[in-house]
Amino acid sequence: MASVLFAVLTFLVRFFRYSLNTLDPWLRYINIRLVSTPSTVEELLEKVRSRFGSLPALASNRDWRERVQNALDALKGKETTPFGRLLAREKLITQIRTLECFETIPRRFSNVLTVPIDRPIFILGLPRTGTTILFHLLVRYPHVAHLNTIRSQLADLRPQDVAQATSIDDLCRRFCTTSKQVKYTFDILLASGCGLPHNIHPASTTFPEECVLVLSNYLFYTNYPYICGEDFTDVVKDYRDLARQAYRFFRRDLQVIKSIGQLSGSRFVLKAPYHSCFIEEILDVFPDASFVRLHRDPVSVVSSSSSFFRAIRAPFSTGDDWKKIGKGCQKMTRCIARELAKETRREAEHTLDFKFEEIAKDPIGVCREIANKVGLEHTKAVEDDLTAFLAEDARKREQAGKHKHTLAEFGLDAEEIRNDCTDYCKKFGV
């Protein structure tokens, strides 16, 4: 019965998406818009205030407001479908509500701020360098904590849940109820073609999730490339102060998630490509952090990233401007590679570098070396678990089909990409 209901709801979402995208352009000719988005930050914040009654403190930050305005402006583009605008609008509102939840819970339960976040392990690198598979492997070690979609979606807590909770345990129980709703909604969206293609990047509410889900709330990088098709990142331009503030909040957010998400692990493994641009800011907040950096030929990175973003943008896009996607990925790669190539003021407690070929050839050997360096317990039971996971992952990827891509289909030039990343290639030998 449950599977039938799920199939019906999935069909309805697909039908709704198709109908909305088909009808809206025609109705606009007679000044009827089925999906509208606020034009200004003030309009959006007023919508949030009227819905929830209050705003997060970050709403007064000038840089953050500029990022929100950039996101709203991007949604006006002709390439964005009505369904894409609808999802993006609701996502923005959810992000603002989430910020308030992260602020309110520590005020309500001050002991949350005493939860330790000791010796976190950050996985860094350009996109498509093996960071995801390494992430999935490291979180299988004992005493390791990680984020996932359910634990990160605090916005689905109702305001009265936080206000009425009598203890952290009571809040955890309330959160478990909303988590079930999050999972059901997320799974329906994935099944209706609004999520990631599984042969490129697996997605699930219970899978280990990148920090992007939490960091995107602070909007210090562009986080709607799959919807609006704009430049993928201007991640380091003029936003250092906002990044410093965001990472200070990020530590608090991890304390909140660890408290109400009932995480058993004592050390976080954290992963997102954008961490690579903020090594100094991370060390300011997490001075005992360890970094694991993965490296790959930038030409392969740009080609694979372009194919990846083309796949996840397909349900939201009205056109096939793949060259624009390619140039956006080239810009993103250049930006992150430039930051990785810089010399930092100080080193992390441990910094380990591996090439894509190393983790592709011997992922368990790489994990063993990392564990020995950063103090994770690598036992035979762990190794057997990693072996079983890799076998199952290989089976799923073979079943889903190979991820094929070339530079030519995105209008890209290999020599130009390497010239963009000369310092990075020399420093890491790729």
Q: What is the pLDDT of residues 291-338, one digit of tens each?
A: 999 999 999 999 988 888 777 776 655 555 778 888 888 888 988 899
Residue 62's SS3 state is: helix
Return the pLDDT at 227: 39
The predicted model gives 238-262 an average pLDDT of: 85
Pick the residue with more confidence: 186 or 51?
A: 51
Tens-place pLDDT, residues 153-181: 665 677 778 888 888 888 888 777 666 55
For the chain, domain boundaries: 35-428
Residue 241: the pLDDT is 81
Of 181, 226, 186, 221, which Cα lies nearest the Cα of 207? 186
Q: Does residue 127 contact residue 305 with C-beta atoms inside 8 Å?
A: yes
- Average pLDDT score over residue span 32-56: 83
To the nearest whole percent, how much of the chain has pLDDT over 90? Answer: 30
- Which superfamily does CATH assign the domain made up of 35-428 to? P-loop containing nucleotide triphosphate hydrolases (3.40.50.300)
173/171 Cα distance (integer angstroms): 5
Query: What pLDDT score does 179 carry?
Result: 62
The b/e string for 230-252 (b: 16+ C-beta within 10 A; e otherwise) is: bbbbbbbeebeebbbbbbebbeb
**Angle 62-74/240-260 helices, nearest 10 degrees?**
90
Candidates 105, 203, 97; CA nearest to 156 is 97
Sheet holding 121-125, edge to edge: 144-145, 267-271, 121-125, 290-295, 350-355
Element holding 207 (H helix, E strand): none
Q: Measuring CA to CA, which residue among 350, 271, 334 is closest to residue 302?
A: 334
The dihedral sign for the CA sequence 248, 252, 254, 255: positive
Other C-beta atoms within 10 Å of 334: how many? 19
Dig out the tokens for 223 from the structure. 């986080």
pLDDT tens-digit series, residues 113-162: 998 999 999 999 998 899 989 999 999 999 898 887 666 666 567 777 88
- Cβ atoms 216, 95 nearer than 8 A: yes
H/E stretch holding 303 reads: helix 298-313
Other C-beta atoms closer than 10 Å to the C-beta of 41 total 19
Cα separation of 160 and 163, whole Å?
5
d(CA 35, CA 156): 23
Distance CA 258, CA 113 (A): 11
Query: Which pair of tokens denotes residue 69?
Result: 């305005």
State the CB neighbour count (10 A cutoff) for residue 383.
14
Min mean pLDDT across 9-13, 27-31, 184-188, 240-244 is at 184-188
The vertex-378 CA angle with 376 and 380, nearest 5°, equals 160
Q: pLDDT tens across 346-377, in order?
A: 777 789 999 999 999 999 999 999 999 999 99
Task: Please compute the mean of the pLDDT values over residues 242-265 and round it to a whole number.
Answer: 85
The answer, yes or no, to whether residue 228 has pLDDT greater than 60, is no
**Residue 48: closest CA among 3, 13, 100:** 100
Strands (E), 53-102: none
In three-state secondary structure terms, 59 is helix
Bridge partners (DSSP) of residue 200 are none
With a cut of 80, say whether residue 380 has pLDDT above it: yes
Residue among 400, 351, 354, 392 at smallest CA distance from 374: 351
**Angle, CA 144 vertex, CA 139 and CA 148 arms, to 5°:** 60
pLDDT of residue 223 exceeding 50, the answer is: no
Mean pLDDT of 265-279: 87
CA–CA separation, 170 vs 111, rounded Å? 14
pLDDT of residue 60: 87
DSSP letter (8 states) at residue 211: T
According to DSSP H, which parts of 165-239 are helical? 168-189, 212-215, 225-228
Alpha-carbon span 197 to 190, nearest angstrom = 9
Report the predicted TM-score, pTM, of the whole model to 2 decimal places: 0.83
Q: Which of 421, 272, 400, 419 is nearest to 335 (CA)?
A: 421
